[in-house]
Amino acid sequence: MKETIHNYTDCEAKLPIYFIAFIYQRCFYIGIIPEVLKLKWYYSTQINNLSREIGNNQFNKYTTLKTSITISNISKSYEDTKALGSINLNIKEGEIFGFIGPDGAGKTTLIRILTTLLLADEGNATVDGYDVVKDYKQIRNNVGYMPGQFSLYQDLTVEENLKFFAGVFKTTIKENYHLIKDIYQQIEPYKNRRAGKLSGGMKQKLALSCALIHKPKVLFLDEPTTGVDAVSRKEFWEMLDKLKKDGLTIVVSTPYMDEAALCDRVALIQDGKILDINTPQGIVDSYPKPIFSVKSTDLYHLNNYLNTLEETHSAFLFGENIHWTLKTNNPTNDLILEIKKQGFSDMKITETIPVIEDCFMELMTN
């Protein structure tokens, strides 16, 4: 896959190539300066468009927020593979916005375009008012980026890594310690340990500290909790919530559907296309049919059988249950008896509440 990176200045060209790559790709970590949110009233046409985008439930909240990121008709292909197709959305200042979707959906490609590490084939985007093509240097100074893979120097200690990143952005740990204090204090007892010897959760905290040390205005996190234990995931999202309260705009991508509920708004993305943009509750509330939780000792064969029924709208394995919807909304007693006669006499059916996974599967199927 061929990626297009911006040309560097004459001064940068004199640096060793590995150092350039380190600064502009591997070391692209950032933080935030808390800003006071500005109120702004939009023209009626803008209000109507925004209302459709985020749903009526949270409309009043988001019309008063300043736009931090705009994405207009962004498309990107890798040879014959379409990674992104005409992506359009706005992200508001001070919100946690999530790109939710499976591997290969286009999340990383979109984040790399927004962080100026990759050029789009079509469309344009701005971050904090700066164009991702024309103003890439300003964006790199104003945003923070934590890639999906741990990219710090593993043979440097915790403290050495943090000092290096602070130095790259011409600041010091002392000057901006207040920005990372709550996070860094958890790993400070291990400041002399090499980064490569840290646990997954500690690496995550160190990477986030390095991303925040230069006071960025927008923080990009590409699948930050992948491969991390459940406790560390919970702690990480608690840290993000605190950063959001300080005024930081956070853009996060994740394949974990349960993390969608922790965002203010989410975009469900699949095959490079946006399926829906709304608050997590707004997406759940839009689920079109009653959904039933089905239990049995033979879930696999029961799921296969339910999918053969003419009455079935959808049936998916969901943990220890099957989530089942019907074309007629509710199963009849005759239908339930017929299913039990097929060797599923222990089947139990209860109506349940849809979750983000159900909504994603419904949108993807449609």
Q: Which CATH number fits domain 10-284: 3.40.50.150, 3.10.105.10, 3.40.50.620, 3.40.50.300?
A: 3.40.50.300
CATH superfamily of 287-365: VP9 protein domain (3.30.70.2070)
pLDDT tens, residue by residue, 111-141:
999 999 999 999 999 999 999 999 999 999 9
Flag the least confident range among 17-26, 57-66, 332-341: 17-26
pLDDT value at position 30?
38
pLDDT band at 229 (very low <50, low <70, confident <90, very high): confident
How far is Cα 218 from Cα 208, in angstroms, rounded to an integer?
13
State residue 283's pLDDT score: 93
**Higher-confidence position of 26 and 162:** 162
- CATH 3.40.50.300 boundaries in the chain: 10-284
Please say if the pLDDT value at position 7 is more than 80. no
For range 174-199, the mean pLDDT: 88
How far is residue 94's CA from residue 218's CA, in Å, rounded to a whole number?
Answer: 9
pLDDT at 34 over 60: no
Q: Where in the chain is the domain with CATH 3.30.70.2070?
A: 287-365
**227 vs 199, more confident:** 199
356/366 Cα distance (integer angstroms): 15
Residue 64 pLDDT grade (very low, low, confident, very high; cuts 50, 70, 90): low
The whole-number average pLDDT for the span 147-164 is: 89
| Single pTM value for the model | 0.76
Strand-pair category, 96-100 with 130-131: unpaired
CA distance linking residue 299 with residue 320, whole number of Å: 8
* pLDDT class of 245 with cuts at 50, 70, 90: confident
